[in-house]
Amino acid sequence: MMNISMKHLRYFEALARHQHFGHAAEACRITQPALSLQMKELEEMLGAALIERGPKRIRLTSLGEDFVARAREILRAVDELGELARASGESLHGRFRLGVIPTVAPYLLPAIIQLLARHHPRLDLRPREATTRKLLADLNEGRLDAAIMALPVSEPLLHEEPILEEEFMLVRPLADAGRPVPDSAGLREMRLLLLEEGHCFRDQALSFCNMPAAPSDLMEGSSLSTLVQMVGAGIGVTLVPQMAIPLETASASVSVARLREPRPRRTLGLVWRRNSPLARHLGPMAAHLQSLAGQGTGRHPGGAAAGA
């Protein structure tokens, strides 16, 4: 009988995910030689190679691809045993892994932490900021318990619960403060600054402007803060979520305006796996999070916009 341990499975899953010994070792909080030794031991027990070692990255063998799929099923099932214990009480307790998209985390996460600490004092919150694509993968693979992101996600294995709605605001150079606010067609004629690829907010802005793809001369930034500072320097204009306005425009020479109707807006929600043992607690958690809409961060779905 092979003595394959949970440690072997977790280390191999991390290596398969990162495809790099150094990055996987860092994620597992062990040294690279220790990880290499564990993988050599696992392959010796199996009597076959799981990975092909390259100069910079590794690749999974055919067996490795099948093995990691089964390993992830086992790891997810083991994690759910712990979730069953946590879900058995009247309130959530223990480790809770919450993902948040980058266009929400800096502005809403402090309030989320305070709110969850008030309603779930025994909760050990572990927030993680990442793009929507990464959060969805982590949810499906059981590496996150829930995530806050823009809806809809339209994934059959995931449940999504709206928590707030907010408008996109137009941020222009200060010199443009008195000019008429352009409509979506007018924005297409301007130099529009957007987040780089991978951010769902970029896609939402392009959709509002009826631009199926970004033009080749589009100016991009890695964060909303960078975009706003670029606008302040007179490079162009940008769209920013309402919750980000107070923080990002405080030190920039920009003007902020509401766009014309129909105004672009997004709905944010709490998303979790439908079969999660924690599901019965996550609906009430989403209801608690809806109270954030009354703190100047947006509006309840169907309610009046903040600042209207």
Residue 242 DSSP label: G
pLDDT of res. 250: 92
Range from 125-139, 214-228, 241-255 carrying the lowest mean pLDDT: 214-228
- Does this model's pTM top 0.85? My answer is no
Average pLDDT, integer, range 243-266: 92
Q: Between 191 and 97, name the one with better pLDDT.
A: 97
Query: Mean pLDDT over residues 218-225, rounded?
Result: 83
Structural domains in the chain (count): 2
CATH code, 20? 1.10.10.10
Q: Considering the domain boundaries, does residue 172 fall inside one?
A: yes
Within 8 A by CB and 6+ apart from 307, the residues are: 242, 258, 296
Q: pLDDT value at position 244? A: 95
CATH of the domain at 201: 3.40.190.10
Percent of the chain with pLDDT over 70: 89
Q: In the prediction, which pLDDT does 14 show?
A: 92
Residue 51 DSSP one-character state? E
In a domain, 155, yes or no: no
Within-domain flag for 223: yes
Residue 112 pLDDT > 90, yes or no? Answer: yes
Confidence label for 238 from pLDDT (cuts 50, 70 and 90): very high
**Do the domain assignments include residue 225?**
yes
φ, ψ dihedrals at 156, nearest 5°: -60, -25
Looking at the domain assignment, is residue 130 inside a domain? no
| pLDDT: which is higher, 116 or 210 | 116
- Domain final position from 34, 57, 84: 84
Task: Give the domain range for residue 48.
Answer: 6-84
In a domain, 246, yes or no: yes
The residue among 60, 84, 108 that closes a domain is: 84
- Evaluate whether residue 272 is within a structural domain: no
Q: What is the pLDDT of residue 215?
A: 58
Question: Are the beta carbons of 289 and 277 closer than 8 angstroms?
Answer: no
Last residue of a domain, one of 50, 84, 118: 84
The pLDDT assigned to 305 comes to: 36
State the Cα angle at 131 between 129 and 132, rounded to 5°: 115
Q: Do the domain assignments include residue 205? A: yes
